[in-house]
Amino acid sequence: MATRVLRFREALREAMVEEMERDSRVFLMGEEVGHYQGAYKVSEGMLERFGDKRVIDTPIAESGFAGIGVGAAMVGLRPIIEFMTWNFSAVAFDQILNNAAKVRQMSGGQLTCPIVFRGPNASARQVGSQHSHAMEHFYATVPGVKVVAPAFPKDAKGLMKAAIRDDNPVLYMESETLYSVKGDVPDDLDVIPLGEAQIVRPGVDVTLVSYSRMTHVCVEAAAALEKEGISCEVLDLRSLRPLDEGALVASVKKTHRCVVVHEGWPYGGVGAEVADRVQRLAFDWLDAPILRVSSLDVPMPYNRTLEDLCMPQASRVIATVKKTVSRGRA
């Protein structure tokens, strides 16, 4: 199979371009997506290619253009709405929670809302506490939406194509720190189904469950632990809602231990949800308690050293794996 090396942002752009060429109902709207070529250059060249009727610059008014997108989806278009950062989606929360997520149910199935909300999520580097929220756990609690958080360029493209074609609202969480990451993308890649996790590194001693940028942290930790004789299986969730319970259970049945690594506060959140499902569905196969590695329970500091301290690092994953692997061994 022929492949090309693409950056994460290039893979996202290819997905949007291909879907816009495939379906004239698809359009992109958001702050700086057009003339500025995208705040993170994800939409570079798209205005020239499709014109200002399908690549639409908006005012700084997330609630307003999110609502316009929801209305457009309700009447048959397929909008892609870019938030410059998911931190700014807080002012559009009502549009997502009370409109996009509920229109199908409240109309008795007469209306659908095929819309993709996308943009960078969680922390970047020294952007302060108001710009460092990991927003996925807020939205993953909402019935009626799907939540996606890819880690690699191939998945970024395939999952974006699937999201655009889905008849439900899809919240597509990217990481600003991954936009320049390179990876192989098959030339003939089509959609990657939502709700299917993937094993990115096989192992037998412990399952590391993660998504988005933290998957790379887990791979780094697993490589270091392998040198010490500890074999880690890294499971990349890719989709947070729906969640691939089958892949979770199958991996834990094999390794008998589970560590969940997620960028976000420890109270509640995706890590807590994964831990709950593993203990309910795979309890009899566990040889040690499920442990979690998360951000610290504080607003994100601006200071770089303190920021690193708050974030899940490979060193914390390694220490947590050693703790859980030591349980149940003779």
Beta strands at 116-121 and 55-57: parallel, antiparallel or unpaired: unpaired
Measured on CA atoms in the order 320, 132, 145, 99, is the torsion positive or negative?
Answer: positive
What fold, for 3-186?
Rossmann fold (3.40.50)
Q: What is the DSSP letter of 96?
A: I
110 exposure class (CB count in 10 Å sphere: 0-12, 13-18, 19+): exposed
CA-closest candidate to residue 250, choices 290, 287, 285: 285
CATH architecture of 198-325: 3-Layer(aba) Sandwich (3.40)
Q: How far apart are CA 316 and CA 309, in angstroms?
A: 10
Q: How far apart are CA 86 and CA 242, in angstroms?
A: 20
- What percentage of the chain has pLDDT greater than the value 90? 92
Q: Choose, from 19, 31, 62, 307, the residue flagged as catalytic.
A: 62
CA-closest candidate to residue 292, choices 255, 317, 313: 317
What's the average model confidence in pLDDT over 296-301? Answer: 92
**Is 62 labeled as catalytic in the residue annotation?**
yes
Q: In the chain, which segments carry CATH 3.40.50.920?
A: 198-325
CA-closest candidate to residue 236, choices 151, 317, 174, 135: 151
The H or E element spanning position 182 is strand 182-186
Instruction: Using the predicted structure, report yes or no on whether residue 330 has a pLDDT greater than 50.
Output: no
Task: Report pTM.
Answer: 0.95
Q: What is the DSSP letter of 286?
A: -
Under a CB-based contact definition with an 8 Å cutoff, are residues 171 and 28 in contact?
Answer: no
CA-closest candidate to residue 164, choices 184, 190, 183: 190
Residue showing tokens 């970024």 = 156
pLDDT score of 329: 58
Which residues is 235 bridged to in the sheet?
199, 209
Q: What is the DSSP letter of 81?
A: E
Q: In the chain, which segments carry CATH 3.40.50.970?
A: 3-186
pLDDT score of 328: 58
CA-closest candidate to residue 263, choices 288, 289, 295: 295
Under a CB-based contact definition with an 8 Å cutoff, are residues 212 and 261 in contact?
Answer: no
For the ranges 80-89, 129-138, 141-150, 186-195, which has the lowest average pLDDT? 129-138
Q: Choose, from 131, 133, 137, 256, the residue flagged as catalytic.
A: 131
Name 24's Cβ contacts closer than 8 Å, sequence gap at least 6. Answer: none
- pLDDT tens digits for 207-266? 999 999 999 999 999 999 999 999 999 999 999 999 999 999 999 999 999 999 999 999
- pLDDT tens digits for 2-27? 999 999 999 999 999 999 999 999 99
What's the average model confidence in pLDDT over 142-168? Answer: 98
**Is 48 labeled as catalytic in the residue annotation?**
no
